[in-house]
Each structure stands twice: as C-alpha cells, then as structure tokens.
Structure 1
Amino acid sequence: FIHPNILRVDADLRWMRAGSVMRKVKSRTWKKQRYFRLQDDCATIWYKSEKAGNAHCTFSISDVETVREGHQSEVLLSIADEFPPDRCFTLVFRGRRGNLDLVAESAEEAQSWVRGMRKLIENLESMGEQEKLDQWICDWFKKADKNGDGRMNFKEVQDLLKMMNMDMNEHHAMRLFTLADKSESGTLEDDEFVLFYKLLTERPEVRRLFQQHSSDGHTLSLWDLEVFLREGQLEQENLREHAAELVLCYEPSDTAKTRQAMTIDGFLMYLGSPEGSVFNPSRKQLYQDMRQPLCHYFICSSHNTYLMENQLRGHSSVEGYIRALSRGCRCVEVDCWDGPNGEPIVYHGYTLTSKILFKDVVSVMGQYAFKASQYPVILSMENHCSVEQQRVLAHHLTCILGDKLLQNALEGRSVSGGLPSPEDLKGKILLKGKKIGGLGASVSAVGEDSPVGDVSEEDERLEMEEENHHDDTLRRKAKRLSKELSDCVVYCKSVRFSSFKHARIHSKFYEISSFTEFKAKKHMKEAGADFVHHNSRQLTRIYPSGFRTDSSNFNPQEMWSVGCQIVALNFQTAGVEMDLNDGLFGQNGRCGYVLKPLFMRSAEKQFDPEHPQMLDRSGPLTLTIQVISGQQLPKVNQKEGSIVDPLVRVELHGVPLDQAKLETHHIENNGFNPIWDETLKFTVHVPELALVRFVVEDYDKTSKNDFVGQFTLPFSCIQQGYRHIHLLSKDGTKIPPSSLFVHIRITQRT
C-alpha cells in the first residue's frame, strides 16, 4: 500500500490521481484521446474514451512490467516527426499483452506519469507477502462493494464468493458472515471483511500439520520446528539455526518472537513464502560453473524472433526481440532480405508478414542484449541478401554494436583451443552465419561472381519441399557472400551437416549445424548416442518445421535429451513447450545458460536417451507427490455463477522412459479451497534431464478441460517436504495468490 502521507506530498501521484487526457497511439493513423486516472487504491489505472460515454476500462499496476520513456517502441518511432520524445512513453505489460503507447499534452505531464508509474511498480515489488495478500483482499472488497459505500451486506458477500470461484453453502456462508460482523450491523466493514476472509481461508490441512508438531497445541517451539524441518521438510543441515531464522523472518507476533516460538500465522507465512516454495531458492541464483565451453550448455533460444503472431500473416516487430531478450533468451533469429533504398529488411520470406528494418533490429539488440543477463547472445542470421546489401548488414552490425560484436577470436586462445565459455564471452554478441575459410583465416575480397555455396542455411521453403519429398533433385542456388559479413562470424560458422562420422573426423570446434525438428528426430532415432557425443563437441541448432505456419512449437525436451544446445522455439506462442523452456531456464539466475549433465559433456561417456539404464548408477529414483489442496484458483469462465471443477495433473518430461502423466480426481464447484489429498508416484531414471510440470484444469465431461494454471521446474530444483506451488497463467505470468499445497518425497528405488 501507498501511505496516505506520501499521497499528499508526492506531486507525481497527485497529478496521476487528478487524471490526464492523453493520446493512445496504435499506428501512424490511429491516435485517439483517452482520459487516464490513478484510482484511490493506487493499484489501478482507470481510463475511458471521451466518446464512449460511461464505458471505461481498468488495468492493474501489477500488470505493468516496465515504463519506457520517449520513442522506445515502433509505434512511437513512427510518429517521431509529429510528437517530441519528452511527451511520449510506453507501458509494457507482462506476458504477451500488447504495449500501451501514450502521448501526453506536455513534457511535464509525461514525466509525472513516468515517475509515478515507476514509483508504484517499485512499491509493489518491494511489498511483503502479507501486504500483497492484503492488497488482493482489498481489491476483492472493492469489486464486490457494488454501491461503493465501504460496507458489504450478505447478498454482496454471496456474489463475492461466486466471483472468487467458490460455491459455498448458504448456511455456512451466513455463519461466517455473522461471526465476522462484530458490530452486529448486518454489514461488513474493512476490518470485519478481513476477519471474514480469514475465516473463509482457514486452512484445516495446515492447522492439522501445525497441531501434529506443536508440543503445547498453540505454538511451535524451536525444538518443534527443528523436528518439522527434519521430518516434514526432509532437511538435514543446520536445523536449529534454520528454525531460529524462520521465527525471526516470518513470525508476526513480537511476543512469540521473544519466546523463540512460531504461531499458526507465522507457520502459514513461512509455508507461503519463496522459502516454502517447491522451487529451491538456492537454485534460482547463479549457481553453475560458467567457465565450460559454450557447447556444454543448453542455451535459451528463440525462432522467428521478429514475429509477434503466426508466420504467414503475422506482424513483424522489434518488440519480439525486446521481449525475448528481456526473458533471458540468448539466441535470437533474424531473416534478412534485400529492401528498398539499399536498406536490408527483416521478415518471413515468401509470406505476407510485415517488414522491419535490419538496422532497427540491431539497435534494439545493442540496447537490450545484456539487461536480463550478461552472458553472450548469439544472433542467428538467415541471409537472403545480395552482396551489396550484405555489406550494409555488416556495416550496421559493426557500427551500431561496436565493441559488443565479437569480431575476433579471443586472445590467448589457439585456433584449435575449443569454444570459449559464457564467462569468457560476457557482454558479447556472436553472429551465427556462413563464413569464408576458417577461424583466423585471412581472406581477400570476394568477387561478386565468385560462388561460395549457400549463403542461407535454413531456406525453409526448400526445407518444406524436401520434407514433403516433392523433388529430391532440388539443389540450393549458390549465392555469393561478402567478405565484410563473413568477417563478422567468428565462433558460430554455419555448415551443412553430412553425418556424425564425417563431423567426428572433419568438423572444427567453431562450426555449427542446424536441423529441422524432423531431421533431428530422425538422427535421434537412428543414432542417439552419436548425437549426444556430437553435441559434447559441437554446437547444434534445432528449429521448427516450415509446416508450422501457426507458429506452434515442437517438444524441446526430446532435443535436450540428446544434448542439443540451441533448441529454438516460437516465444510468441504459449503452451506446454514454452512452459518447459521457461521451467528449464528458470534456474541459474535466469541467465539463459544451463550446464548440461556431466555424462553429456564428456567424450568418454556413452549416453543414449533411448537406453538410459546403461548409465553407471545405482538405479532409478521414486518421486512421490501428495497433492493436498489448492488455494484461490483463478476463474476460467467469466460467466456469472460459473465455478471451476479443478483437477491436478502432474507431468514428468524427460528421456522416453521417464515420460509420464498422472492426475487427481476433480472437485465439484470449488476453485477457492479444494482438497484432493491424493498421492501420485513416478519413476525417474535420468533426474538430471527431467522436468516436472504441475497443471490445474477445469474438468468438463462433455468437452476438453480448460486450462487454469501451471508451474514447471527442473527435477534437480525441487525442494522436498510440504511446499506451495505458485501457479502461472498460460502466458507464464504470476497469478497470485493461486497455489497448490503438496508434499514431495524423493527416494532411491530398491
């Protein structure tokens, strides 16, 4: 919450609460006036069209990821000649929601909104868990208080319960209402509503757990907490110290703190905190060795990065690069074609997708490449340009990126020394593309009539025809490559793949091959162990088939299982495949690099994902998940009276032998506090490659279940014991306070 005193003295927030008329801009020709105002709760922006009468919309400050000043979006750049940058700003929303581009009436007004929004976002991010929950309760109170009198009668409370995804027995609801109505006025006011919410959200399953471990039935002593950490949370080290830290950190009562004890409120706060989460907090930090060769890491990678929609008619935008890079993506793709006025353009060839300038893409790369991670970014170039415009490509890369572009092999490394590490290449952008000669080779200028083979490696039109076997005699037309562009390629020289045997004998460490998903699957089936061995020495990029015109994705897990590093996905398309990608790269500081298991990095090991039993180890693990309960699941269907019938599915993704899915029964009409109390068991042969995905769905016996929320994490990052799983939306954004409560145990199978 924003303290009332701050509201009185903060000029920016006062200006925002008074409201402003600004232009909402969607294109050069679409500019409409809208009235924007910060609501009294300082958590919501209200806006309406001057012509729309009473119609208005709102969005929450928590939906806004960041604020950009000036002409920092394509839309605002397109009107740069019309409105100066000091009057323009962009609100960037979380997930895949489009930006809001605004032009204020004055520079002073724009600055007030920019500063004010940043303060509000910062305030939200610094809130404690309890404050966030209080804010959430407050939001619901306002939604349900239809007449805005700051009180709620029983009818409004009943409507609220339906809005909150709960179909409660009327008698039970009235009992809780009466208990909370301390003033006996027949309505609930602020504090009374908070009490009602606490009665409503009473967690019997947590209370039972608390009582089981409490010596006196009221609090957990340090000794009680130590026993709980050992038996309930399956922790082993520094238990006494950890128990004392938990009391200090999460116990709200000063009296209990003084007695070094924890109340039920402190216990709930601990279980709901990041420390009580299923994702081990220590694995969220940068914890891996970053000094191994590049080919020893999985690298977060995007395909058709410039597209915001599908690849037939979609909108091309530099925003695609900003979003991918901001999410920790470390390999982006750019399709370059000859453009008018000698300026190369970027778009999906042979389709109706819109076009953007290559130099704008490079400018954005320079700005955003290292905001989310300092580790190297690979720019995977599909070059369809003439030699003249290739020189322009090289000019833009070298002039705009400057020192950020890696143009020479690193000093102190011999030409045969192997790939450098992410640590060695911090702050560098590497171009992946065709190159004349080898690393460090001195090449004289190439004449325009000197063919050097294929300039583009991934001509998808040809790939589609090859995959469809329409004409096996098709051959790529030899194009010429400019010396200037060739010189920009250092450690990622694109080469056509012939065979694993050929690569073993002839491949250089700085060479990289690309495969469509179908070709990769073919190699996996025919020679899985050879593929793993190849990827211990060389970089490999896998990209979606040209048939995926809807920009859907293939399952990346299969490619990671043979050690492919650059598994490129359509970031603009939500779904299980992007959930897996976000899950894998959610660890290691979200830096975009995850170290492969040792048996995939060593040339001596022989690992075949089809036969993982051949690994020298003491047998598989058993993963036991007790799905206990759910908390405040979001509504799927916004129709009045519609309530979720939730079920939980747990999916194990890994080598073929580990693939498995199990689910609970569904609970009728309760998305608010469902209790399943079901146990699901999995066998895990290769835990190092396994991902676990928790999915909540709304059961429907007549049609496909609706998606409610999910959370995906690497098996190696799981915390055992009683844990909360904080659910994410289809877009991968948080949906607080929605969660699952589970107990997890990992044991050696005997």
Structure 2
Amino acid sequence: MGDSSRSPTPEAGGGGDGERLHTDRNGRAGSPGEELPRSPSPCYRRYSDSTPTRSPSPLLLADGYDELETRSSRKTKSVSFHSHTNWKSDRKIQSAYDCLQANSRQYHRFFRLLDDLSAIRWTPTTKKTSKAQLMIEQIKEIRTGRNCESLRNKDFPAHYNEERIFSILYGDSYESLDLIAHSPEEASIWVTGLNALIGASKATPDAVEDRQTLREMWLKEMFEKASKNNSGGFIDQTTCIKLIKRLDSHVALVRVRQKLQEYDMGKTDGCRGRIDSQEFIDMFKEIATRPEIYFLLIRYANKDYLTLEDFHLFLEGEQGMAGLTTEKVIETIEKYEPAPEARKNRQMLIDGFTRYLMSEECDLFDPAHRTVCQDMGQPLVHYFVSTSHNTYLLEDQLKGPSSVDGYIRVLACGCRCVKVDVWDGQEEPLVYHGNTLTSKIPFREVIHAIATYAFDFSVYPVVVHLENHCSVKQQKVMARLLKSLLGSYLYVHPPDSPKPLTELSPEDLKYKIILKGKKLAREDQDEGEVSEEDEGGETKRNTNPKKIKLCKELSSLISLQRTRFTDLNTARNKQDVSEMCSLSESTSTKLAHTCPEELVNHNKKFLTRVYPNSSRVDSSNYNPQDFWNAGCQMVALNFQTPGQFMDVYEGRFRANGGCGYLLKPAVMREHISVFSAHSREIIPGVAPQLLKIKVISGQCLPKPRGSTATKASFIDPYVVIQVFGIPADCTEAKTRTVSNDSSFPIFDESFEFQINLPELALVRFVVLDDDFIGDDFVGQCTIPLDCIQTGYRHMRLLSSMGEPIESATLFVHVSISNKKGGGKPQRVKGKKTDKVKADIKPIGLKAADDLFKEASVPLVEAECVQDKVEDAWTELQDECGLEHTANMKQCLRVTISRYMATPDTARLSIQEENGVPFLRSSRPGPLPSHLHRLEIALQKVLLEIHHFLGHEEEFVSALESRLKPCLAMYDSLESHLSSNGIKGKKANRAMENYAWNVRIIRGQLDRLTTLTKKCRMAMEQVESTKTTLDSLNQRERSPLVRERPRLTLANRHNTTDNLTTYGSLGRSPTTPGADCKPKSILKKSNSNLESSSVGYGMQDEGIVTTSWGNGCQAQDDRR
C-alpha cells in the first residue's frame, strides 16, 4: 500500500468517522443474493438506538438513502445511496468464476465532499485527515466503465456491472482512483456532479450565472408576451398550459396540471388560478428539464451548456455524423435553440439540447431509410416482398366480414402482394373465403380498389395472387374487368421476351400490376384443364389432383405461373424460372429445418410464397423470420391481426422507404455462396457485429389500453429488448421494473448482443407494465439493425395496432462495432497465414486448390494490414479511456483536452509530415509519460490508416483478379469433379467448400470497403479538427483567458452554489423530488454531519478498494 505522503490513496484501516458494515473476510457484504430491507416510504433512518434525529440533509432525503445500523457501540451511521424503487440485487451466479472467493479484502468507507467543494475526503483511514483526500482542482477527467488500464486488465465477477464503474484521473501523471458504485444511478450522480465541479473550477465566476440569465430572460420574455393583455402581470392556468406546451410540445399535460394544483395549494382563495412570472419560470424549469439529458450535458461539456465547438464534437463524436461543416452546426443550433441570446452566442442550452434530441434527426430510425435507398435494379428473386394473406378478410377466417378496406389498408402500408379468392356470383364474380360464412364482396370493387390505391404509397410492382374458382363464363368476365379496370397498369409478360419475368427488376416494373395464377400449357388453346386453384391443394401428396377448366382470355393475362410443389430436387430439375410455388407454413418449416441450404439455393432462382396453415382460423400469425432466414421472398401474414409477429413484419418493411421490397442479404443472393441459418459455423465472409444498447429512460408512457379503473394511477414499467434474426442471433433481455414511476421512468441499463448476420437482424423494444396477474402491453418499436442510428436517440412507441402513441418515447444510447476482443490487443501465436489457410478449405481438385492457393497471398496481406489498423485503433481507444466503438473525433477530443490540461502547452496544431497529419504541441521539453503514450498511439493509428489507404486499391485489385477465375471455374466444377472420380457426398462437400472459399474472398472485399469508409471518415475528422484547434488557440491567446485567475475556494463555492442553471428539476434519476443542481448531486447542505456516503473496500497487492453506498467500491491501483 502506498505511502500516504505520496498520493491520496484510500487505504484500509481502522479509526475515522465510520465503522465497517457486515462483511465477511473476503469483503462480501452480506450473503450472495442478499438484499437490504426495503422501506415502504421514500427513505427511512435506523440507528443503534431509537432516539429520533434530525434529517441529515436535503440531498440524502431526496436521493432516498438508507441509513443502516452499524455493529459498533458508537452511534455513527452508515449511508447507502440507492433508490428503493429501483433496487435490484446484482449478485447473480452467471459463471463458475462467480462461485470462487475474491482474492482480496474489502472495507467500508465514508466518502464526502467538503463544504467548500474543494476536495473529496474519505474515512476510516490510517492517514492524516489532510492526506486522505483528493482535491477537486487535481482532477483531470472522469471515465466511465472499465476504461482504465488498472480495471481493463482485471478480472471481475459478472455482478460488477460496467455501468457501476468509473475512474477519477488526477494529477499531472493521470493517476487513477477506480470506483465501483452500488448501482448505475449512483455512479451517474457522482460522475455528473464531479464533471460539474470540474467545469465550474475552470469557468469564469459569472459564466454559469450568464447561462442562467439567458434561459430566464427567454422564459420571462415569453411570459410577458402571453400576459400583455392581462393586468397585474398574471396569466390564468389555461394560458399557462398553452404557453408551456408551445415552448415544449413534449411536456405531458397531466404533469403540468398536477404542478398547477401544487402551486395553488399554497395560495389564498383570491390568488388561486393565477400564475406570475417567477412562478411560471420555476414551474417550466421543474417540468421541462429532463434530468438524464441534463446529466448528459454536464458529463459531455463539463458545464450546463454547449458551445459551438462542444456541439460540433457531440454531433461527430457521439452521433456519428460525418462531413459536418461549421455552418451546418450553426444552422442546427439556430433551428433548435429557443433562447435568442444563446442563438446569438452560438450556444445551446438545455431546452435547445432537449429539442434536438427529441427531433426527427435524433430518431433511432435512420432518416436515410425513410426513402428508397437500396439497389432496385436486381432480379425480383433477390428481394423480400411484403405479402398479405386473404387480404379481403378483416377478422377471422370462418365468419368474419370481407371488405375492400382490407386492400386499401395493406396497400397504404406498402404491401406489394395481395390475394383475391374469386368465386362465381349470380351475375359477376365475388370475392370471399370459400366454404365458410365470411361475407362476400364484388370482384369489380376489389380490382377497382387495387387500381386506385396500388401506387399511392409505393411505385414498385404489385402482385395480385388470383385464386380462381370460377366457371369459364365468369372467368371471361374476370378477364374483361381486369383489362378495363387496370388499364395500362396491367403487365403482361411477352412470350418472346429475352428475360423471364423473375429476372426483371422492381425498377423495370414500376407502376405495374402483375397477375399470378394458373396458366394454360399452350397459348393456342381456347380453354383447357389445370390443377385445382386451392392453395392448400398444391402441396398435398396427391397423384390425381382435382382439375378445373381455364379459359384462354384469363390465362393470357397471367404473368407469374403457379405450379405444384413436390420436393426441392424435382423443382431444381423441372421447374421453370417463370413459375413459382406456394408452400404452407408446415411444409416450409419442415424444409427450413431438414434442408436449409437447399431451400436457400432454391430461392436464389425461384420465387416462393409461404402462407399460414389452414388451422389458423383465428387469423393468427407465425414468425415470418423463420422463412426470411430461408430466403423465401413472399412470406404472407394476416395483416388484420396485430401482435408480436405483425410488429416484426411491419418493422422489417419500414426499411428502404417502406416501398415493400427489401434486398436480401448477399449470402442469399450470390450464385456461389453457402449459407444455412441453422449452421453453428461462422458465416463465411460476414463479420459479426457487437450491438450495445443502453436503455436510459421513458417519456409519457401511458397506462395500458383497457386497464381497469381499479388499477393504480401509476404503472410499473420495464423494457424488453428482443433480437430477431438467424437462430444464433435470437435473444432477449429486459430491464428491471421501475415501480410507481409512471410516465417518466429512468432505467439506465446496458445490454450487449452479438449479431452474426446483421443484414437479417431486427431489434424490438417492448414496454410492459409489471403486474402480479399479467404484464400488460404499453408500447413497442421494431427496427431493422441496418436502420438503427448510433448515438443518443429517441424512438417513438407504437400501440398494439401499430399506431403512434402520443408523445410516448424511449431514450437510448446505441453503439455498433465489429466483434472484437476487449482490452489491449493480444499477441497471437503463429503467423497470420495460418489463420487464412484455416479459412480456405480444400477442394480435392488440384486446379481448384491452386486457384485458392494463389488467392491466399493477397488475402494474407489484406488481413494483416486491416488487423494492424484495427489493433492500432483499439490501442488508441484504450489509451484515451474510451469504448471500442469510439471514433477518431472522440479520441481527438480526449487527446486535445489532456494536452491543454498539461502545464506549458501554449499551442496545438495539425501538421502534415510525409502526407500524414500529426497533432503537434508547442510545449517545450519532454511530454509526461501518460501524454507521450497517447501521442505514440495517435501517431501509430494515423500511420496505419495512411498506409492502408495508400494500398487499399492494390488489395482490392489483387483480390478481384484472383476472384474472377474462381467464379469462371464454378460452372464447370461439377464436370471436373466427376472426371476426376469425385462423386456423391465427396463431390457435394467439394462444391460446398468451393462456395465457402469464394465467399471468404468476397467477404474480405466487403471488409476492405467498410474499413476504407471508416479510415476516410477518420482522416476527415482529423482535418476538421484544424478549425477547432484554431478557435482553441485563439481563445487561449485571449488576454481575458490568460489573465483569468484561478477560482479561490470561496468563489468556487459560491459559483457552484449558484449553479442552479435549470432550477429544481423535480426529480433525479434515482428518486422523485431530488434537486439536480451540481452542488446537490454530491454535496449535502447540512455541514454538521460528517459523511455523505459510505461503503466497503478491498485490498490486494497494490490495489486498495474503497467505496460509498451499500456495495460501492473504489480501486486505487497504486502501492
């Protein structure tokens, strides 16, 4: 353990102001899984005797601390800071490691912030009081998660959630004090408060007051405009509600009315119902300020507003926006910041920041997918097509109503394939579900509705699935109506066309309606017999299927011919590419499980429609993902039935502008590829991705639809995250329940998911109300992974019917990165060639093996260069203390801030040396060791990126030249294998290995493309940093900045005490009613009590662990 004179190490020992709580010799607080008793009230106090005492401080009460009885005869108390409503034990056995005893000892600690806000002090300690503290002015930065080397290289049990971990870096050598809080909320409060104190210590004494004035000036001006017609400077409650809604449209009316009632309670009869200027300002601050966004603002900018540079960095670093200009950032500030003076100063206050985060620009769904953004020029078989089953039905399959409204509704949703069951009527054909009690509608009205609404929402082709049960006479009526009502929309594929219909693209067939049905064998027949039209009969093992007559007039209009399905081998050998099969749910499920690769290959060439089993008389739905995994294009669902699977379906087809056509993943389209959704092997050429989601909060969550009047006015919400995709990707996770927090719960929980086939994955967020009887549905949002924007995002929740719920949103943070091991890059034994050779599989045919042997050379070179870039990037991220999803802008932000925090750093600049941009400092003499390591890591990644970009075209050209002969040989591979005596299972295995190797080469090309975009963006971010540095250097040379004195303890106390920028927030992320002023985040107002927090600690060789809170630990990696 380090000498107390060297550094402020929180160390083990007796004495001091606190006592150790119940721990075993290994430092475990209580038994595994043990929870502290819950209090029925917001907070309670329990001492070693029953003598009532005065409340320790407003902060302790507001944040819901438990004061627990100590085992000492002394009447000192220990304080746990956690929320009763959010309490959840983190102690779970998740692996064998968790069953082992910790190789360390733990001790309880009291942590407190001094009254003058100058330092953090802890007890008990063997040090002198003056040494057992850390000065605020020494703190350089705060890191969250395991982003310090001392933590990154340590093994932690699974119950140490990373959201609970943060580190305080202090001193010129950037030593770290590593802390593990009892809960994520607890950690968030301390991180936010410390950042606020750091920012306050660097600001001018009146800087914060200026920001407060700007917001109040704006609110006062708005109030005066609203009250100009009223004498006495008052407004009534109706006007107040309208004004608040106008200033912040996302505020819940219920909350505003509740606050107005609270204000009225303290007034006399004559003053009730009237609001003055100051009351309005205070009320707006309390209602409109969201604590989680306020905390984000403080943690990102170290102050309660964003400058132009801060906001620019936030957009590029956190939101992942590329190619941003200063003009665009200014335009965004002017668009969302409501305070005129702040706009003039190019600053964004909390209201503007909240407006921006709630805007369409920050929606979780990528705006790029609100319009068609995929290649629409590929063959029809390469697309998933939005398809409806028995479209005319509005309810069940037996006795429900039929209506043209079914067609209008699904076409408005982007559906591109509808079904029409046609039967004989008295005069004209009718549409209904045959042999049931469903109502009937005229065929004429159905076709008229299709023609009218087919292209209102999407311009791409509509397929009309005709199930014909009519006589020849009424078939001719059908043909006449189709021609007259569809007109130029009707597409009839020419018999002499050089391409079959399925090889035409959606782009080729825009504004066309294609008829699908039975067709005569010869065009010269006036009429003939075809197998039964009933869809269920097409897959029956029936050697003598029922025959019906078909007239030439109707047959000639059919472009997509339906055919019976027997098995995949027969289809491969006999089915024409212009024919398509309809498979029942049961048949498709069997094929998808018994021969998944063959079904995927079948769907590369032929169109396949899947429809629900006839047993689903209630119009229920199956999981469409099971058949998308097999490459089936037209997976038909009952659109009239809401539920989980309809949510997944609608979520899938939200992509690509909702046009109803989605390009299948490359492995399902390429002629030479191997893919099975059920295989346990990696997908060749596809890089898995790591999806990280932090569910932060919910807004305006309604009571579940249909909830009874006896149900409490509050709901107990929790969020379930479901991932749909191939079986290896399917999983779900859920947050804890936030009890009695109703509309605005704070969840603050993070989850990680490995996605092996990102192109096919969807993420569904479901909000449920926790109840003893059954968890009620509140809202949901389903988004394809490809459509998710990273960064801080809001998503709009939808009802069970798919309709937007007014103002109901979830606030999340999302990051997506290639799957890669954590920590520092590990040295891999053996050469890179060994890995590539392992990826390339043997064919058993010398000519083929020689081709792939030649291709392995550029594969090795490309793999090595890419790994060097990624390893260098990881090393820089680790040195910056950032997640492995951090981009160059975020790394540069940390690097520049560390340079500027180092004494004698006068100027920073980006200078090019041999074409490589480097960050240079005018600081004389050698750099401190921590800064030198960071400089080396930054130089290394820039050199690797420069080298990669300089040779990227060579790698691509080399791989493409090796790929061409491999593709050319594939068509004749089967005959080559046969001539060399390779037959049967060996030949099949050789063909699969050949496709595998081709996919490896293509995957490397895809990876090169992705890394090229990432590297170019990084260089653009380095280039854009020049502007930031120019502004920073100019500001640092300003006499006002150079002569600005350091804040004394007194004025620092006053400045922070005045940091009431947004007034009383009304609640903190942990407990309703807490004040979110930076002082109140960490500082208690009653100075008579010594401690503001307590915990236990752990001591191991060179590692001293301290904590506050019941289970909050701190590690100091110094001897």
TM-score of the superposition, structure 1-length normalised? 0.72
Please tell me whether residue 283 in structure 1 is matched to residue 352 in structure 2: no
Please tell me whether residue 518 in structure 1 is matched to residue 605 in structure 2: no
Q: Distance in 2 between matches of 1:654 and 1:166?
A: 40
Please tell me whether residue 354 in structure 1 is matched to residue 432 in structure 2: no
Change (3 A) 1:414 1:188: farther
Offset at 1:713?
A: 0.6
Aligned to 1:548, which of 597, 616, 619? 616
Q: Which moved further from structure 2: 675-684 or 644-653?
A: 675-684
Offset at 1:444?
A: 2.6
Q: Which moved further from structure 2: 619-628 or 285-294?
A: 619-628
Aligned to 1:623: 691
Letter in 1 for 2:630: V
For residues 277-676 of structure 1, what are the structure 2 equivalents within 5 Å?
Answer: 277-341=363-427, 343-409=428-494, 413-416=497-500, 419-437=503-521, 442-446=523-527, 450-454=528-532, 456-459=533-536, 475-490=544-559, 492-611=560-679, 613-617=681-685, 619-636=687-704, 637=707, 639=709, 641-676=712-747
Offset at 1:372?
A: 0.7
Secondary structure of the 2:421 match is strand
Secondary structure of the 1:452 match is strand
Offset at 1:501?
A: 2.1
Secondary structure of the 1:365 match is helix
Q: Distance in 1 between matches of 2:734 and 2:267?
A: 40
Secondary structure of the 1:479 match is strand
Offset at 1:576?
A: 1.0
Which one has the largest radius of gyration?
Answer: 2
Secondary structure of the 2:547 match is coil
Change (3 A) 1:258 1:182: farther
Letter in 2 for 1:605: S
Q: Distance in 2 between matches of 1:728 and 1:634?
A: 11
Aligned to 1:263, which of 338, 344, 349? 349
For residues 223-234 of structure 1, what are the structure 2 equivalents within 5 Å?
Answer: 223-234=309-320
**Would you say the 8 A contact 1:457–1:496 is kept in 2?**
no
Change (3 A) 1:213 1:561: same
Letter in 1 for 2:619: S
Change (3 A) 1:457 1:195: farther
Deviations 1:466-490 (A, max 9, x none): 6xxxxx7685311111111111111
Change (3 A) 1:195 1:732: farther
Change (3 A) 1:285 1:417: closer
For residues 728-743 of structure 1, what are the structure 2 equivalents within 5 Å?
Answer: 728-743=798-813
Deviations 1:498-541 (A, max 9, x none): 22222222222211100111110111011111111111111110
Q: Distance in 2 between matches of 1:362 and 1:236?
A: 47
Judging by fraction of residues, say which structure has more helix.
2
Offset at 1:620?
A: 2.1
Q: Distance in 2 between matches of 1:188 and 1:660?
A: 53
Q: Distance in 2 between matches of 1:415 and 1:290?
A: 17
**Would you say the 8 A contact 2:500–2:578 is kept in 1?**
no
Letter in 2 for 1:372: F
Change (3 A) 1:256 1:184: farther
Offset at 1:657?
A: 0.7
Change (3 A) 1:165 1:620: farther
Structure 1 residue runs without a partner (length 5+)? 1-133, 135-147, 154-162, 467-471
Deviations 1:55-96 (A, max 9, x none): xxxxxxxxxxxxxxxxxxxxxxxxxxxxxxxxxxxxxxxxxx
Q: Distance in 2 between matches of 1:389 and 1:190?
A: 77
Q: Distance in 1 between matches of 2:294 and 2:270?
A: 28
Deviations 1:647-680 (A, max 9, x none): 0000000001111010011111222110011112
Q: Distance in 1 between matches of 2:796 and 2:501?
A: 45
Offset at 1:194?
A: 9.3
Please tell me whether residue 251 in structure 1 is matched to residue 328 in structure 2: no
Q: Distance in 2 between matches of 1:600 and 1:508?
A: 20
Secondary structure of the 1:656 match is coil
Offset at 1:229?
A: 2.3
Secondary structure of the 1:489 match is coil
Change (3 A) 1:618 1:521: closer
Q: Distance in 1 between matches of 2:672 and 2:485?
A: 43
Change (3 A) 1:694 1:402: same
Q: Distance in 2 between matches of 1:727 and 1:608?
A: 34
**Would you say the 8 A contact 1:165–1:671 is kept in 2?**
no
In the alignment of these two chains, the number of paired residues is 574
Offset at 1:282?
A: 1.1
For residues 716-735 of structure 1, what are the structure 2 equivalents within 5 Å?
Answer: 716-735=786-805
Offset at 1:418?
A: 5.1
Deviations 1:120-157 (A, max 9, x none): xxxxxxxxxxxxxx9xxxxxxxxxxxxx994899xxxx
Q: Distance in 1 between matches of 2:265 and 2:328?
A: 37
Letter in 2 for 1:746: I
**Would you say the 8 A contact 1:696–1:709 is kept in 2?**
yes
Aligned to 2:783: 713
Secondary structure of the 1:220 match is coil
Change (3 A) 1:416 1:590: closer
Offset at 1:164?
A: 6.6
Change (3 A) 1:745 1:421: same
Deviations 1:621-662 (A, max 9, x none): 211111111000011125264321100000000001111010
Structure 2 residue runs without a partner (length 5+)? 1-221, 223-235, 242-250, 821-1119
**Would you say the 8 A contact 1:336–1:384 is kept in 2?**
yes
Higher RCO (C-alpha under 8 Å, 6+ residues apart) = 2
Q: Distance in 2 between matches of 1:243 and 1:611?
A: 47
**Would you say the 8 A contact 1:457–1:514 is kept in 2?**
no
Aligned to 1:110: none
- The RMSD of aligned alpha carbons is 3.1
Letter in 2 for 1:331: C
Aligned to 2:225: none
**Would you say the 8 A contact 1:250–1:267 is kept in 2?**
yes
Letter in 1 for 2:333: V
Judging by fraction of residues, say which structure has more strand.
1
Change (3 A) 1:303 1:417: closer
Letter in 2 for 1:299: V
Deviations 1:360-394 (A, max 9, x none): 10111111111111111000111111122111111
Q: Distance in 1 between matches of 2:582 and 2:620?
A: 19
Offset at 1:286?
A: 1.1
Q: Distance in 1 between matches of 2:466 and 2:402?
A: 16
Offset at 1:226?
A: 2.2
**Would you say the 8 A contact 2:420–2:431 is kept in 1?**
yes
Query: How many percent of aligned residue pairs carry the same amino acid?
Result: 41
Secondary structure of the 2:569 match is helix
Offset at 1:357?
A: 0.7
Q: Distance in 2 between matches of 1:230 and 1:150?
A: 42
Letter in 2 for 1:725: M
Secondary structure of the 1:658 match is coil
Letter in 1 for 2:755: V
Q: Distance in 2 between matches of 1:516 and 1:744?
A: 38
Change (3 A) 1:283 1:473: closer
